[in-house]
């Protein structure tokens, strides 16, 4: 596996975390819509089924988003376990920490440099070495 392929593999977890965040935002929007629809439903005798249809649509979308979120979380747990295992195979403690900061915690190069007390350039060099050590 090339270093680029290793990076793509390691980035899967962070990408999945971003998808989870977007799904949570969308779920929140649908829940907000459902509250607006139900709070506007003050007169059942108006004879319109339009309101009921909108409520049903919101409930269906909320259930769909909840199911999607559960799948993404399950996928994230599995990805994290796989990626932690791959990172754990790197012998050098510093390189393992760097990989965890970058691919599990999502730290920027600058933040990693601060956390590890290295220059940005040194962190980038160490990252290349860490990728080389990954099997």
Distance CA 37, CA 18 (A): 29
Q: How many CB atoms lie within 10 A of CB 34?
A: 17
Torsion angles phi and psi, residue 43, rounded to 5: -130, 105
Give the pair of three-digit tokens for residue 94: 């510093």
pLDDT, residue 34, reads 87
pLDDT, residue 65, reads 96
Distance CA 7, CA 9 (A): 5
pLDDT, residue 37, reads 74
pLDDT, residue 125, reads 98
- The CA-based angle 46-49-54, given to 5 degrees, is 120
pTM: 0.80
Give residue limits of the domains in the chain.
1-88, 93-135
């Amino acid at each position: 596996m090339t270093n680029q392929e290793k990076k793509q593999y390691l980035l899967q977890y962070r990408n999945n975390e971003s998808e989870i965040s977007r799904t949570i935002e969308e779920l929140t929007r649908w829940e907000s819509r459902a509250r607006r629809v139900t709070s506007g439903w003050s007169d059942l005798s108006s004879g319109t089924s339009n309101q009921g249809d909108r409520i049903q649509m919101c409930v269906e979308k909320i259930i769909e988003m909840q199911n999607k979120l559960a799948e993404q979380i399950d996928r994230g747990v599995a990805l994290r376990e796989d990626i932690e295992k791959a990172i754990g195979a790197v012998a050098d403690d510093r390189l393992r920490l760097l990989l965890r900061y970058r691919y599990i915690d999502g730290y920027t190069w600058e933040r990693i440099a601060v956390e590890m007390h290295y220059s940005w350039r040194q962190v980038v060099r160490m990252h290349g070495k860490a990728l080389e050590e990954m099997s």
